[in-house]
Structure 1
Amino acid sequence: MRSLLRTPASILTPLARDASLVWVASGVVGVSFGAVCVAGGLPVWVPVAMSLLVYAGSAQFSAVGVLLAGGGPLAAAATGLLLNTRTAAFSLAVADVIGTGRLARLVGAHLVTDETVAFALAQSDPARRRAAFWISGLGLFAVWNVGVLCGALAGTALGDTATYGLDAAFPAVLVALVLPVLRTDSAVRRCALLGAVLAVVATPLVPAGVPVLLALAGLAAATGVRR
């Protein structure tokens, strides 16, 4: 994190501008998550505490979905953990980006998300990747938690969150992040295609969250890809 403070403004400003789109989407989906939780009967503190301590958007939605469907806390936690195991691979991908200090690794591990990793690895050199990780990660964490709090306080006032398209904001941003790489790298296209086929085929056969994990098998198509 200290290296971020020493990074020139000429690098930080463009990165913050580029990350702002993801921050906006994160805030919108955070509002949706908070509203869904409270509208489903959970107290305000549950989504707020979960977002601060767990901080895993898709896993949080899955866990709350299990709770609202009548499942127990253990089943909800297991579902969230299963879906979030993909971040183990993401952590390996950005291990050298986060830094070497204990505090940096502790905080950085908490900030590892699909969007933060994608944004960091899209940069052209190590210094920009490190700055991009911390700018994206800290901004996302702040905006997500503010959004969740606002949504939870709004409660049922928003009604059906799908009516406003809040549930589609994050997937749309993820597509925007990966499209440039898919256009320029045939090896990544092979991995993505195989992973997508596996996920689509598995969706009607396995519990929610498992298709995402199965899609990681698409990395088998990366044979020969440069590191």
Structure 2
Amino acid sequence: MASTDRHDVDSPDPRASFIEGIRVGLPFSVAGGLLSLSFGVVARDTGFSAWAAIAMSLIVFAGSAQFASVAILAGGGNPAAAIAAASLMNSRFLPMGVALAPSLPGGRTWRAAQGMTVVDSSWALALRPDGTFDRWKLFGTTAPQFLMWQLGTIIGAFGGDLIGDLNRFGLDAVYPAFFVAILIPELRDRDRIGVALAGAAIALALVPFTPAGVPILAASCAAFWGLRRRAA
């Protein structure tokens, strides 16, 4: 009996989809390269070895989680807080993975391996109008971003002394600007504005009195208020 699962739906031309993914992923890879360059420098300044910074980018490959961990450690936070913050940052991949899984062929292990290629932009760009995903476009979109993220980290980790002060090049502003650009479209909804402001207020209130990392974790509680309002 033929399966009717959505994971049987695949691109009619995987090679063309992969190439298209590379094309649309290139602009994101440039931005990612700059961010990872900044990460490499900041990680070294925090006390990471060059190889530790590179290994983190290779294994984690998640800018928000990496920067959050480094920021917490740099501020005197303990590794447990850094790991908790990184896990929280990456928790968004759980619902993304649930949505993607039916479009991936194979058993659980093979689908999980394919799911490791997901980043925010590739997930969004590979989404079809019918709710399925073009996995080859997803792979292609992620490929240049992964390569540039590693390259940027290597340059930043080994060439930090040559790069010098991040402020001189404006690299310290790249990551905040990146997140502001992501946040702006979400603020069209009045409830989301309230959640963002509540999270910012919680973090600002706790910064003077709590260890590094606690304000980030506490600020995330504002999201539960947003969920409650939507459920009401």
When normalised by structure 2's length, the TM-score is 0.72
Q: CA deviation at 1:71?
A: 3.3
Whether 1:169 and 2:174 are equivalent positions in the alignment is: yes
Q: 2:119 matched to which residue of 1? A: 113
Q: 1:155 to 1:8 in 2, by over 3 A?
A: closer
Match of 1:36 in 2: 42
Specify the structure having the higher radius of gyration (Cα): 2
C-alpha distance in structure 1 between counterparts of 2:38 and 2:45, whole Å: 10
2:204 aligns with 204
Q: Which residues of 2 match residues 148-163 of structure 1 at below 5 A?
A: 148-163=153-168
Alignment of 1:1-227 (within 5 A): 6-9=13-16, 11-121=17-127, 123-124=128-129, 129-170=134-175, 172-173=177-178, 189=189, 192-206=192-206, 207-210=214-217, 211-212=219-220, 214-215=222-223, 218=226
Aligned length: 215
**Cα-Cα RMSD:** 3.4
- CA contact 1:38–1:156 (8 Å) conserved in 2: no
Q: Comparing 56-65 with 130-139, which one deviates more in the overlay?
A: 130-139
In the alignment, structure 1 segments of 5+ residues that lack a partner are none
Alpha-carbon distance, 1:213 to partner: 6.2
Structure 1 length-normalised TM: 0.73
Moved over 6 A (4+): none
Q: Percent identity?
A: 31
For 2:148, give the aligned amino acid.
Answer: V
Structure-1 separation of matches of 2:125 and 2:182: 8
Output the CA distance in 2 between the equivalents of 1:13 and 1:200.
40
Other structure's SS at 2:14 match = coil
